[in-house]
Amino acid sequence: MKVLEEIADGVRQGDSSLVRDLIQKALRQALAAERILEGGLIPGMDEVGVKFKKNEIFIPEVIIASRAMKSGIEALRPHFGPLGLPLRGKVIMATVKGDLHDIGKKIVCLMLEAAALEVVDLGVDIPKEQLVRAVRTEKPDVVGLSALLTSTMTYMGEVVTAAGAAGLRRKIKIIVGGAPVTASYAEEIEADGFAPDAASAVTLVKSLLSGKKG
Ligand code: B1M
């Protein structure tokens, strides 16, 4: 679909206002928010990733593309939920200490909110002490950790250990995700689950909540 390709191109060019305008155009064409996200914004950012890896573009271009991506996510936010459904559970989300990547995490937050879950997004570069404090004050059902670097992924294990040491491990489910994270790594650090993408994160949280509450 032409408008989706144009949105992907807008992200690649890092043109935030173009991306926002094109999203409005796509919405006027009655395209669903999920389709715009999955068929326009994400492919655009994926291509930025490929070019970055091949050294065809550099950090400044990636930052500008990231801003356009985030502004697209914000433009879509009102068109996802929570559709007036009662809240079904509470999730704290964080990108772990040392890691500044938050585009994927924001998409996970958006999809969880659209599934009528309450989401508290702590942000990026979050140390385990802050997470423990947040679990005590927010009393979430689930804690979702995101990491995009192989060097920061290991910090997820430290968060699981810290939650245990604080006596909170049985009160929450901890799930992990992000490009370098795998199901076997989640198992290794004794997390309660792994999701490869935002849609799977919603399915995982729902299944953990029904197990926990049922
Ligand atoms: Co960075 N970066 N980056 N970067 N960056 C990667 C991750 C990298 C793979 C690029 C590469 O070399 N090919 C590489 C990591 C290599 C590695 O460790 N294996 C890398 C590097 C090296 C770095 C720096 C070290 C570069 C430098 O300074 N020399 C630096 C580190 C900074 C830091 O964090 N301390 C750095 C910086 C940056 C920017 C700031 C410029 C920018 C981030 C902007 C931002 O997020 N606000 C950036 C970006 C944008 C990328 C790439 C190009 C794109 C990431 C992205 O947003 N993808 C990335 C290359 C790539 O991934 N191909 C790269 C789109 C997003 C929708 O996907 O985040 O995977 P993703 O999220 C998905 C799933 O992973 C999943 O669902 C999401 C949606 O489906 N998911 C979860 C994510 N979290 C989840 C949590 C869940 C469940 C699912 O449950 C809790």
Confirm or reject: Cβ of 8 under 6 Å from ligand 1.
Answer: no
192 Cβ closer than 6 Å to some ligand 1 atom: no
* Residues paired with 95 in a beta bridge: 146
Give the pLDDT score at 103: 94
pLDDT of residue 82: 60
Mark the ranges of the chain whose per-residue pLDDT is less than 50: 84, 213-214
**Which amino acid appears at position 165 of this protein?**
A
Q: Are 151 and 97 spatial neighbours (Cβ–Cβ below 8 Å)?
A: no
Task: Please indicate whether residue 105, judged by its CB atom, sits closer than 6 Å to ligand 1.
Answer: yes
Give 3-state DSSP helix, strand, coil % of the chain, rounded to 5. 60, 15, 30
Ligand 1: atom nearest CA of 181 is 75
Coil, strand or helix at 203: helix
Q: How far apart are CA 52 and CA 44, in angstroms?
A: 13
Number of other residues whose CB lies within 10 A of the CB of residue 48: 25
Cα separation, 6 vs 205, in Å, equals 33
